[in-house]
Amino acid sequence: MKLRLVSKRIIVCLLLLVFYSIPLFSANVTVPSLELFTKGTPESGSISLQSEGEIELSISGGFKFGGSVILGFLSDSFEQDLTNRITLGSSQGGTLTLKSATISIQKLFGLPLSFSYFLGLGDIFASGDGFSDTFGTAPISTQYSGFFYFSDGVRYDGVHRVAGTGIRLQLSPVNNRFASALYLYQDGYFSTEVVPSVQYDFDPGHYSADWRFMLNLNKIKLEYFLGATVPASTWGYYRTGFLFHAADRGGEFLAQLGIPRYDPDNDTIGLDLFHLLFEARLSLGIFSIIPTVFLHPAYYHQTATGEGGLIDFNLNLRFGDPAEHLINGGVEGNLVFQDQTLQDFEAKLSPYLNFVTPGVLWQLKIDANLYPFSSLTQMFQGYVGIKAEF
């Protein structure tokens, strides 16, 4: 699934505008995210490496009237990109693109409201990250996401994400307790297939509206969103989602519940439509027990996943608190059921180690495929991850 957001000419114009404006408006240039991952898989008596990475460059400035631009470089196969450059002299593969751009007016009409014009990838609903971004709280989102767990499938992060071109009217946090936002935009997730499974062109003219509400209490955090897209199918597409987080002393509980897409004309309400994640975090001093249950949805980001009904059970036994210790590690047991009958499944055992050096988080993990078992030479997969921000 490819998302064509802006043309190269628009990117160049925005870059020139931003860089020429830096001396005038004292813009801040930061790298909020740098992530590199490598997966090693035994193949034909050797080890095949698959590497991917993403880097974000953020240019922002202003308060009363300000804006931000995020440039992103993404490659899902560094090895193939390098081959294209060496053998073909091609720049195919990872490219620098405009990931998002936002122009905002704060305190609209003297009220605690902000008005934003945006394009590109926007806010993520029901992941938990919204509380850190809006209220400045400690992270509450699940670690059961991303490359280490979904390297070969859909990369889930929350129940839904805004993407496209539109406007946002946001109520600023009131007493640091609650916030709300309304989004109206042309949806960027719609595309038409040009070459089967190879190329997709953006399909314009589909418009979405989403409403989001967040409640931030000392021990409880709640988030709810509701959205619709038209024209789509006969009656449009609809979505809703809910996040609940509670923490007290040595325990936490996180729940994500939602339907990423519902088509009243073609879908029958069932478990396969739901995105469900439940995670408990029990801390016993330096030792933590973190069980996670995740039900994959049939649709995600307006597109069929081919994973509806898959159920994951993950048990993380961790030594050390990442927020307090430079080194932590442990072992995870993972069961992935291929359907709701719980008959066909895959089982893995995964020791891991995380450690921090100045400005960098290193992640090492080995997956031992216990079932179905094929051979010792194909039993193990290794992962290396690097995350940094500066």
Q: Please determine, for residue 70, whether its predicted confidence score (pLDDT) is greater than 50.
A: yes
Which residue stretches of the chain are H helix? 8-25, 78-83, 129-135, 147-150
- Dig out the tokens for 120 from the structure: 């590109």
With 0-12 CB in 10 A as exposed, 13-18 as middle and 19+ as buried, what is 390?
A: exposed
Q: Please determine, for residue 79, whether its predicted confidence score (pLDDT) is greater than 70.
A: no
Query: Which pLDDT does position 267 carry in this prediction?
Result: 94
Asked if 309 and 340 touch (Cβ cutoff 8 Å), the reply is yes
- The structure's pTM equals 0.86
Backbone angles phi, psi at 18, to 5 degrees: -65, -50
Asked if 211 and 106 touch (Cβ cutoff 8 Å), the reply is no
Rounded Cα distance, 333 and 350, in Å: 6
Rounded Cα distance, 72 and 145, in Å: 20
Rounded Cα distance, 35 and 28, in Å: 21
Query: Which pLDDT does position 2 carry in this prediction?
Result: 42
DSSP, res 110:
G
Q: Tokens 């409403």 label which residue?
A: 211
Asked if 329 and 301 touch (Cβ cutoff 8 Å), the reply is no
Q: Please determine, for residue 73, whether its predicted confidence score (pLDDT) is greater than 80.
A: no
Asked if 18 and 11 touch (Cβ cutoff 8 Å), the reply is no
DSSP, res 108:
G
For residue 346, give every residue at least 6 positions away whose Cβ sits within 8 Å of its Cβ, in sequence order, or none.
335, 336, 338, 369, 371, 372
Rounded Cα distance, 365 and 352, in Å: 4
Torsion 214-229-186-305 (CA) sign: positive
Query: Which pLDDT does position 63 carry in this prediction?
Result: 57
Mean pLDDT of the chain: 85
In one-letter notation, the amino acid at residue 265 is: D
Alpha carbon separation from 268 to 238, 265, 273 (Å, rounded): 13, 9, 9
Q: Please determine, for residue 208, whether its predicted confidence score (pLDDT) is greater than 80.
A: yes
Query: Which pLDDT does position 210 carry in this prediction?
Result: 98
Residue with more model confidence, 46 or 137: 137
Query: Which pLDDT does position 32 carry in this prediction?
Result: 81
Q: Please determine, for residue 90, whether its predicted confidence score (pLDDT) is greater than 60.
A: no
What percentage of the chain reaches a pLDDT higher than 70? 84
Torsion 102-103-108-111 (CA) sign: positive
Give the 3-state secondary structure of residue 186.
Answer: strand
Largest interatomic CA distance in the chain: 68
Q: Tokens 């309400």 label which residue?
A: 269
Residue range 123-181, pLDDT digits in tens: 999 999 999 989 999 999 999 998 889 888 899 999 999 999 999 999 988 888 999 99
204 CB-side CA count, 13 A: 5
Residue 329's nearest CA partner among 295, 291, 368, 286 is 286
- Dig out the tokens for 312 from the structure: 């994951």
Q: Please determine, for residue 16, whether its predicted confidence score (pLDDT) is greater than 60.
A: no
